[in-house]
């Protein structure tokens, strides 16, 4: 298993090109199930999770053909079962449920089960599809869903915000008979990207970018070409890399408007963001200050930036409190950060961070995607050498980490 070795203490300077967003690409690839025509996605990052989605789609009969930064999807659905072997690797596999059901009236999708960051049920996905007329039962660890006469438009109010359930229902509603209204829908930029692509495929969606999506189902969707938006979490992560090392990085292609509360919190912590036409520059005026944050659905502070922001707060002046409200077990980076000299205490869903002047390198273990990068950030700022084991977590969602960081002067290498 690969690890990453970092010798810290170098202020990072240079340009980092932000890749296409992983969490937009996953549902966009699932849109390949919604049409017989060719769907071409551009600005596609090379990531392990996208390779898993390709495998899943391939066994449904959809050929996924990468060509540099483009990926084209096409083919007929030949199999409606999403097997445990693939779903267990990646929970986002559940995103094939709505499209399969809407398109061919049946799907058998393995239940994803829990994962390191929490139990993560899929009940809202199922309730929403049931409201649209699907018959759903659970059998042998699988979701058996059918809609022999097609899905029907429905009014569905999400009891709380779910990104994945909003995406599944949006895709399903595009091909349902009649009008579907989704209230309290997620407003993440990835949902807007999905709605934009569906519209290009012929879907009729109103309220894009708001928490009420009104979808008038159409008989069929056609092919389209869609450019995936830049990854806002990768953007925020590298902004933290500039800030924690006291460096100066230009984040090319980054969209400040997609960062929501992350920009506000970074600025409050003393980070200087200078917007330009094709991205923004991140520097630090003086020292970093402790800032309290609470994770929330967009445009609030994203749970996917919580671990990275904690690494930053670990070396800020003063104390800060980070409250995680989305997932119940997303503080696994805390003991590892503490091994590097951070002072973090967890009380229930909140972590109190007392900033220290210096972290020190240590052998640490990555536990999930974002937690892994919080350790990379800590290592970049630490005195001495850090080895991060289990970096396959990083490869799931960050493209060319070593190349991007080394390009800005980081002393980083992958150890096989």
Residues 26-45 that bind ligand EPZ (CB under 6 A): 26
Q: How far is the CB of 85 from ligand EPZ (least distance, A)?
A: 19
297 and 36 in contact (C-beta within 8 Å)?
no
Per-residue interface string for the shown chain with ligand EPZ, residues 128-147, x marking contact by CB under 6 A? --------------------
Task: Give CA–CA dist 43/41, Å, rounded.
Answer: 7
Sheet with 3-7: strands ordered across: 363-365, 385-389, 3-7, 411-415
Among 108, 120, 255, 333, binds ligand EPZ (CB under 6 A): 120
Among 118, 207, 223, 409, binds ligand EPZ (CB under 6 A): 118
Say whether residue 275 binds ligand EPZ (CB under 6 A): no
Nearer to ligand EPZ, 11 or 27 (CB): 27
Provide Rg for the chain, Cα atoms: 21
Structure token digits, residue 128? 């929403």
Please report where in the chains the tokens 């999400």 appear, as a residue: 158
User: Of 115, 197, 240, 408, which is the active-site residue?
Assistant: 115
Q: Of the candidates 186, 196, 145, 146, which has an alpha carbon nearest to the alpha carbon of residue 164?
A: 186
Q: Mutual orientation of helices 123-131 and 163-174 as an angle, nearest 10°?
A: 30
Residues 157-176 that bind ligand EPZ (CB under 6 A): 162-165
Q: How many residues bind ligand EPZ (CB under 6 A)?
A: 23
Nearer to ligand EPZ, 133 or 397 (CB): 397
Say whether residue 16 binds ligand EPZ (CB under 6 A): no
Structure token digits, residue 56? 């899943």
Supply the DSSP string of 151-209, one letter for each residue.
Answer: -B--EEE-SS--HHHHHHHHHHHHTSBSEEEEES----HHHHHHHHHHHHTT-EEESTT
Give the angle subtended at the CA of 160 by the CAs of 157 and 165, to the nearest 5°: 75
Among 60, 370, 393, 404, binds ligand EPZ (CB under 6 A): 370
3-state secondary structure of 294: strand
Task: Give CA–CA dist 372/369, Å, rounded.
Answer: 5
Q: How far is the CB of 247 from ligand EPZ (least distance, A)?
A: 24
Residues 294-353 that bind ligand EPZ (CB under 6 A): 302-304, 326-327
- Tell me phi and psi for residue 173, to 5 degrees: -65, -30
150 and 105 in contact (C-beta within 8 Å)?
yes
Task: Give CA–CA dist 95/165, Å, rounded.
Answer: 8
User: End-to-end CA distance of the chain, in Å?
Assistant: 7
H or E, element range at 411: strand 411-415
Q: How far is the CB of 204 from ligand EPZ (least distance, A)?
A: 24
Task: Give CA–CA dist 217/54, Å, rounded.
Answer: 27
Nearer to ligand EPZ, 266 or 369 (CB): 369
Say whether residue 234 binds ligand EPZ (CB under 6 A): no
Nearer to ligand EPZ, 31 or 382 (CB): 31
Task: Give CA–CA dist 268/66, Å, rounded.
Answer: 41
Among 41, 92, 313, 405, binds ligand EPZ (CB under 6 A): 92
Say whether residue 121 binds ligand EPZ (CB under 6 A): yes
Task: Give the residue closest to ligand EPZ by C-beta.
Answer: 164
Q: How far is the CB of 122 from ligand EPZ (least distance, A)?
A: 4
Q: How far is the CB of 112 from ligand EPZ (least distance, A)?
A: 9
Nearer to ligand EPZ, 88 or 354 (CB): 88
Nearer to ligand EPZ, 22 or 108 (CB): 22
Q: How far is the CB of 272 from ligand EPZ (least distance, A)?
A: 27
Nearer to ligand EPZ, 195 or 316 (CB): 195
Nearer to ligand EPZ, 288 or 369 (CB): 369
| Strand pairing class (70-74; 39-42) | antiparallel
115 is annotated as an active-site residue = yes
Count, residues in the chain? 416
Say whether residue 114 binds ligand EPZ (CB under 6 A): no
Say whether residue 125 binds ligand EPZ (CB under 6 A): yes
Among 31, 73, 124, 344, binds ligand EPZ (CB under 6 A): 124
Catalytically annotated residues: 115
By the criterion CB under 6 A, which residues form the site for ligand EPZ? Answer: 23, 26, 91-92, 118, 120-125, 162-165, 302-304, 326-327, 369-370, 397
């Amino acid at each position: 298993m690969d690890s990453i070795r970092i010798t810290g203490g170098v202020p990072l300077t240079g340009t980092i090109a932000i890749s296409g967003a992983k969490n937009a690409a996953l549902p966009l690839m699932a849109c390949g199930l919604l049409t017989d025509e060719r769907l071409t996605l551009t600005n596609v990052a090379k990531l392990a999770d996208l390779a898993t989605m390709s495998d899943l789609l391939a066994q449904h009969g959809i050929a996924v053909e990468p060509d540099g930064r483009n990926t084209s999807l096409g083919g007929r659905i030949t199999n409606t079962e999403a097997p445990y072997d693939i779903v267990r690797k990646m929970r986002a596999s559940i995103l094939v449920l709505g499209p399969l059901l809407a398109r061919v009236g049946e799907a058998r999708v393995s239940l994803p089960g829990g994962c390191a960051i929490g139990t993560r049920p899929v009940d809202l996905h199922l309730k929403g599809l049931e409201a649209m007329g699907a018959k759903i039962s659970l059998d042998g660890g699988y979701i058996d869903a059918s809609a022999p006469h097609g899905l029907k438009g429905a009014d569905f109010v999400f009891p709380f915000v779910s990104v994945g359930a909003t995406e599944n229902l949006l895709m399903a509603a595009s091909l349902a008979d009649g009008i579907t209204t989704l209230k309290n829908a997620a407003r993440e930029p990835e949902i807007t990207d999905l709605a934009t692509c569906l519209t290009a495929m012929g879907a009729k969606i109103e309220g894009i970018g708001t928490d009420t999506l009104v979808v008038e189902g159409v008989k069929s969707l056609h092919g389209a070409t869609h450019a995936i938006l830049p990854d806002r979490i990768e953007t925020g992560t590298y902004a933290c890399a500039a800030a924690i090392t006291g460096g100066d990085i230009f984040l090319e292609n980054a969209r400040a408007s997609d960062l929501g509360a992350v920009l506000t919190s970074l600025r409050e912590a003393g980070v200087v963001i200078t917007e330009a036409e094709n991205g923004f520059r991140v520097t630090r005026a003086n020292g970093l200050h402790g800032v309290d944050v609470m994770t929330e659905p967009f445009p609030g502070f994203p749970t996917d930036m919580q671990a990275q922001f904690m690494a930053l707060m670990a070396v800020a002046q003063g104390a800060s409190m980070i409250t995680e409200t989305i997932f119940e077990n997303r503080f696994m980076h805390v003991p590892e950060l503490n091994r590097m000299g951070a002072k973090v205490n967890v009380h229930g869903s909140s972590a109190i961070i007392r900033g220290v002047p210096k972290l020190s390198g240590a052998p640490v273990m990555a536990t999930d995607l974002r937690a892994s990068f919080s350790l990379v950030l800590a290592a970049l700022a630490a005195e001495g050498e850090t080895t991060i084991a289990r970096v396959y977590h990083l490869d799931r969602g960050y493209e060319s980490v070593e190349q991007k960081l080394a390009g800005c002067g980081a002393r980083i290498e992958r150890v096989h």
